[in-house]
Amino acid sequence: YFLSNTRNSLPDFKISSIHVGTFSKPAETKFAEEIATKFDFDFKLVTDQDVMDQFRLKKHPHEVLEFIKYDFNKSYSIGATHIIMRAAVENEAKKQGIKKIAYGLMTEDLMASIIKGFFVGMPFTGPLKKSFGNFDLIYPLWPISKKELTLYLDALVPHHNRQGSPSEFERGALSRDIYYLLADTIETILPGSGMQLFLAQKISNEFLKPYIYSECDNCGITYSLSYKPELHNSVLEVEDTSNPELCDLCKILDQHNLIKC
């Protein structure tokens, strides 16, 4: 709605809608298709079978995530879910020749990621625009807070302003809720503090070493090991072609015999 209602004041662009139905409720999938039809977006539904084929999974994605959540490590479930969704989007983007991917993350989403980065010691290289492997990532909603977005949708299309509960794989660890609580609280007490946080992050990123990106030999997702200093010499500077290069999720799946040969 936001992009389509402002496109007359923006440079000409075309939107393709890629919806990963694997972790989506039927109503959400229907909603995504309705929006694409309403605004004449190209629409692609990525099915469960598409995901299984891309990751070469022996089991249904839900079974794989149930293993990760209940038998491997609960805190990995949301990360694995997001990796599968992003890999599916990237894969379809490659097929369509799309080089620019837009994510609908708003102010609090990005604030929570930066705050988490402070706690775990991993830099967050957002949020405005960045090159990510062969893609440009953009965040059209980055300066809009959750409250502003909710009011905007409620005034414009209240029937599309309902957010249901997350799926069982999208909760993640308790720490994720804490980061969002901190972001919401800071933005409530000091409105606009997110803008200062983004500016500070942008300045600090100028002093970071450039990321080195790879593509997973199994699922094809873009990933980076640049934030792991101990691996710089052994992985990033010395190329080893004897073994497949796998992203973190596919390494877990491979170790537990969940990928087809």
For the chain, 261 residues long, give each residue's pLDDT as a single digit of tens: 877 888 889 888 888 999 999 988 888 899 899 989 998 889 999 999 999 999 999 999 999 999 998 888 877 888 899 899 999 999 999 999 999 999 888 888 888 888 887 777 776 766 667 888 899 998 888 888 888 888 988 898 887 777 666 666 666 555 667 888 888 888 888 888 888 888 887 777 766 666 788 899 999 999 987 655 444 444 444 444 456 789 999 999 999 999 987
How confident is the model at residue 86, as a pLDDT? 93
CA distance 84 to 179: 22
How confident is the model at residue 226, as a pLDDT? 64
How confident is the model at residue 177, as a pLDDT? 75
Q: Which of 234, 231, 218, 257 is nearest to 87 (CA)?
A: 218
How confident is the model at residue 257, as a pLDDT? 93
pTM: 0.76
How confident is the model at residue 237, as a pLDDT? 44
How many CB atoms lie under 10 A from the CB of residue 35? Answer: 17
Which ranges of 39-145 would DSSP assign to H, the alpha helix?
48-55, 61-67, 77-96, 107-120
Element (H, E) at 58: none
How confident is the model at residue 218, as a pLDDT? 95
Q: Which amino acid does the sequence have at 214?
A: S
Task: Name the phi and psi angles at 57, rounded to 5.
Answer: -75, 140
Q: For residues 140 and 5, is the Cβ–Cβ distance under 8 A?
A: no
CA distance 241 to 261: 18
Tokens standing for residue 201: 């992050």
